[in-house]
Chains A and B, each alone.
Chain A
Amino acid sequence: DGGITQSPKYLFRKEGQNVTLSCEQNLNHDAMYWYRQDPGQGLRLIYYSQIVNDFQKGDIAEGYSVSREKKESFPLTVTSAQKNPTAFYLCASSSRGASSGVNTGELFFGEGSRLTVL
């Protein structure tokens, strides 16, 4: 079945450690995104990528890094520089409209990864 797979679902880390969250999609989507969700804050964009080997910072990129070496994969590293890393992280992807070639805006989400830093 087509979809987005995030792993791990739950992760505990000590302060000062880097951690990498995995996101894989088999939807053949060009664009991929990472969002952070905190209670009462909605979804905030961390990084996004419209094409392989290219990515842009979102609204809250500080303390995070990404790579996009393959179309299917968009891993997110939460570095020790991120001051409040405990959160729920959502990966998403989107396709281009068939006629316009422009991103349609509709996102398909993974199940999320809940990171707790102790």
Chain B
Amino acid sequence: EDKVVQSPLSLVVHEGDTVTLNCSYEVTNFRSLLWYKQEKKAPTFLFMLTSSGIEKKSGRLSSILDKKELFSILNITATQTGDSAVYLCAVHYGGSQGNLIFGKGTKLSVKP
């Protein structure tokens, strides 16, 4: 069965801490892995990863994919209270137009 597993499910840190969020997957015909941030309503796109070992970076956020071990990590350095959100991992896979399967998300709370 195709699946995406995120860990931890929730995390509480203090401002300035560095966090690592994990996403592992088991799918057939992998195409890409995507990270989204959901603060209150609409998830917003962070990264799309298709190749192993190439780090994607945006400010204090970075992500990398390991297609051999079937996982990705999302790093956030020097966390701020505005980073508090649910972080969703999704994997695009399959033939034809493909399918997208989401993990359950990691709820990150950053305390002042």
Contact = CB atoms under 8 A, between A and B. Distances in A.
Contacts of B102: 35, 42-44
Given A105-B98, A105-B100, A106-B34, A43 B41 contact: no
A90 interface: yes
Contacts of B48: 104-106
A8 to B, nearest CB: 13
Given A31-B97, A105-B34, A40 B41 contact: no
A34 to B, nearest CB: 13
Interface residues of A, number: 22
Contacts of A43: 43, 88, 90, 102
Interface stretch (A19-27, A67-75, A109-117): A109-117
A112 B40 CA distance: 10
B9 A40 contact: yes
Contacts of B105: 42
Interface in A30-47: 31, 33, 35, 40-45
Q: DSSP class of B's interface residues: helix, strand, loop or mixed?
A: strand
A103 interface: yes
Interface in B41-57: 41-45, 48
Interface string B6-22: 00010000000000000
Given A42-B103, A42-B104, A43-B102, A102 B97 contact: yes
Contacts of B41: 111-112
Interface of B: 9, 31-32, 34, 36, 41-45, 48, 88, 90, 92, 97-100, 102-105
30 contacts: A31-B97, A33-B100, A40-B9, A42-B88, A42-B102, A42-B103, A42-B104, A42-B105, A43-B102, A44-B102, A45-B99, A45-B100, A90-B43, A102-B97, A103-B97, A103-B98, A104-B32, A104-B92, A105-B32, A105-B90, A105-B98, A107-B34, A107-B43, A107-B45, A108-B45, A109-B42, A109-B43, A110-B42, A111-B41, A112-B41
